[in-house]
A and B are shown apart, each in its own frame.
Chain A
Amino acid sequence: MNSFTLTQATAADEAVRDLTSHDGAAYLGGGTNLVDLMKYNLERPTHLTSLGLLPLTDITSLPDGGLRLGALATNADTAWHPEVEKRYPLLSQTILAGATPQLRNAATNGGNLNQRTRCYYFYDLATPCNKREPGTGCSALTGPNRVCGVLGTSESCIATQPSDMCVALAALEAVVRVQGPDGERTIKFDDYHRLPGDHPEKDNTLKPGELVTAIDLPEEGYADHFTYLKLRDRSSYAFALVSVAVGLKMNGNTIEKARFALGGVAHKPWRDQEAEKMLEGQTASPDLFRQVAAKVFAEAKGYGEGSLHNSFKIELGKRAIVRALKQSTEMSQVVNPNVFLNSNP
């Protein structure tokens, strides 16, 4: 970790001013990712603008029926907020499927959006990594890459976005509110994270100095038919190999509206709007789900065989989609085969 100065801002505009007036500055939220990265010398900010005192911790209803999540509300407070639990159980359960109680108590909603990949090579200064150091190459293309992606990858990067929460936010079609040197703007969730292309060093579409101030959820929360299915290497406290967040509106056995997104497979929460359309207006059936899953992974590319390489995620991902859709149509609770949360085996 390098040495740095630190300012505790008390308002968003003050924070933006503070950050932009320092070279090499970064925003500090809960610190659960940034401090980690700094200890590994992956981030070396010379100044931190601490956001801990900003009044952005509220969760409030919006006039249009939606819900605004303050960027500085912790993941735990968000997951356990009565309105979130009642109206957006998919989001609540998804947040609880990620990290640990300790991390969720410190991690903020804004920070969750901006957490960086867990790719082994990004995390190890001794190895080439285009995301960390553009132009050095991608060690993951041929090396162990179990943690890496199979959709939307490029020859310069196959890293994945590691968040669980973001997968639900993608399915819920959230909107990110940001404030920067040029004022405020909103970003549709699908546009917030980006694919690696030739610039894997950029995780998202934030402009320099921009600060996430809130995440707006639209009115529809799919509280009756939803699932977050997370498959991982142990029952808890592990990043997803593949995860699926599903929200459905059902009329009997007919799917009226379908939204879903995948985690663990791409540089961003992966949505396929054509695949969603394949579901809408149709009768729920295993065959339909299999067709949808096949569509999602039609263009997938695996990087090597065996347990250390990620080609298995294509088949696993398809099966996860089928299972998550099936669960969503049949029940309105999260059933995670990795956590017997509601059953005694």
Chain B
Amino acid sequence: MSLQFIQEPLDKTAPRVVPAQSVTLNVNGQDRTIQIAPWTSLLDALREYLDLTGTKKGCDHGQCGACTVLVDGKRINSCLALATVYQGKKIQTIEGLGTEDNLSPLQQAFVDHDAFQCGYCTPGQICSAQGLINEGRCKTEDEVREHMSGNLCRCGAYTNILSAVMEVLHDGEAVVDNGVLITVPVASTKASSVE
């Protein structure tokens, strides 16, 4: 006897789609008007409607932090924000922090400390770090570690992220006990022989 798995309709009502409407978002200092329905997340509005693809989609569920943007200076997950209710707020994305030719101090610190590898979590890490600095609550390494823990990095660049954030947080004065690099130069090493 075989079992059946039959998907019941998810909705009682027939499929219907709420039409798009004009929504104006203030992004990086500019008012941008797009046509979206309420179901468009702030993340999708940025990426798919405004071509601001610096903000990343890593999970779309608030579980990774790649989509972090600043709203009125505070960091949030743009994937869990419905764009339409963010009208009238000042939204800042990675593109608004600095450009390739004119990096912000945090962006430059991330480059200098090699605080990323694949780069996909990086805009979220940097926006989150900017939010952390704006908050003004964290000073120590442990506090920064904890308050940068809303941003996953699968490449495992965490120690370098800490160094980069601490540098900017303390205007280059921070001493971070975070591990060192030692290189032992080549000794004369020939192919060993079989014993």
Alpha-carbon gap, A187 to B74, bound state (A):
32
- Let me know if A46 and B38 touch, CB within 8 A: no
- The residue in A8, A50, A101, A341 that gathers the most chain B C-beta atoms within 10 A of its C-beta is A101
B62 smallest CB distance to A (angstroms): 6
- Let me know if A4 and B18 touch, CB within 8 A: yes
Alpha-carbon gap, A52 to B80, bound state (A):
14
Interface residues of B in 1-31 (CB under 8 A from A): 10-11, 13, 16-18
The residue from B13, B81, B128, B131 contacting A35, defined by CB atoms under 8 A apart:
B81
A149 smallest CB distance to B (angstroms): 22
The residue from B17, B68, B82, B141 contacting A6, defined by CB atoms under 8 A apart:
B82
The residue from A1, A44, A237, A343 contacting B142, defined by CB atoms under 8 A apart:
A343
B177 proximal to A (CB < 8 A)? yes
> Which of A102-110, A174-182, A303-311 has 4 or more CB atoms under 8 Å from chain B?
A102-110
- Let me know if A102 and B82 touch, CB within 8 A: no
**Contact pattern, B 134-146, Cβ under 8 Å of A = 1, otherwise 0:** 0101000111001
- Let me know if B61 and A39 touch, CB within 8 A: yes
- The residue in B13, B80, B131, B151 that gathers the most chain A C-beta atoms within 10 A of its C-beta is B80
* B residues near A6, Cβ cutoff 8 Å: 38, 82, 84-85
**Contact pattern, A 24-68, Cβ under 8 Å of B = 1, otherwise 0:** 100010111001100111001010101010000000000000000
- The residue in A5, A24, A36, A235 that gathers the most chain B C-beta atoms within 10 A of its C-beta is A36
Chain A interface bracket (under 10, 10 to 19, 20 to 34, 35 or more): 35 or more
Q: A35-B82, A41-B10, A102-B150 are in contact. Are A341 and B142 (CB under 8 A)?
A: yes
B75 proximal to A (CB < 8 A)? yes
The residue from A3, A36, A52, A341 contacting B39, defined by CB atoms under 8 A apart:
A3
- Let me know if B82 and A103 touch, CB within 8 A: no
B77 proximal to A (CB < 8 A)? yes
Alpha-carbon gap, A8 to B38, bound state (A):
11
Alpha-carbon gap, A3 to B131, bound state (A):
32
A210 smallest CB distance to B (angstroms): 22
Interface residues of B in 35-81 (CB under 8 A from A): 37-39, 41, 60-62, 65, 68, 74-77, 79-81
Alpha-carbon gap, A258 to B30, bound state (A):
54
Q: A8-B85, A100-B149, A105-B76 are in contact. Are A36 and B142 (CB under 8 A)?
A: no
**Contact pattern, B 73-114, Cβ under 8 Å of A = 1, otherwise 0:** 011110111101100000000000000000000000000000
* A residues near B75, Cβ cutoff 8 Å: 101-102, 105
The residue from B11, B81, B135 contacting A106, defined by CB atoms under 8 A apart:
B81
* A residues near B177, Cβ cutoff 8 Å: 344
- Let me know if B81 and A341 touch, CB within 8 A: no
Alpha-carbon gap, A227 to B61, bound state (A):
30
* A residues near B84, Cβ cutoff 8 Å: 6
Closest A residue by C-beta to B61:
A36
- Let me know if B150 and A31 touch, CB within 8 A: no
- Let me know if A236 and B146 touch, CB within 8 A: yes
B73 smallest CB distance to A (angstroms): 10
- Let me know if A44 and B39 touch, CB within 8 A: no
- Let me know if A35 and B16 touch, CB within 8 A: no
Q: A44-B11, A100-B149, A237-B149 are in contact. Are A32 and B80 (CB under 8 A)?
A: yes
A19 smallest CB distance to B (angstroms): 15
Closest A residue by C-beta to B18:
A3
Closest B residue by C-beta to A339:
B146
B126 proximal to A (CB < 8 A)? no
Alpha-carbon gap, A290 to B60, bound state (A):
43
Which of A's residues lie within 8 Å of B, judged by CB? 1-6, 8, 24, 28, 30-32, 35-36, 39-41, 44, 46, 48, 50, 52, 76, 80, 99-103, 105-106, 235-237, 339-344
11 extra interface residue pairs, beta carbon distance < 8 Å, beyond A36-B62, A344-B177: A32-B77, A32-B80, A44-B10, A44-B11, A48-B38, A50-B85, A100-B150, A100-B151, A101-B131, A102-B150, A105-B131
5 residue pairs A–B, Cβ–Cβ below 8 Å: A35-B79, A44-B10, A46-B11, A103-B77, A106-B81
The 3 closest A-B pairs by CB, nearest first: A100-B150, A236-B149, A6-B38
Which of B's residues lie within 8 Å of A, judged by CB? 10-11, 13, 16-18, 37-39, 41, 60-62, 65, 68, 74-77, 79-82, 84-85, 128, 131-132, 135, 137, 141-143, 146-147, 149-152, 177
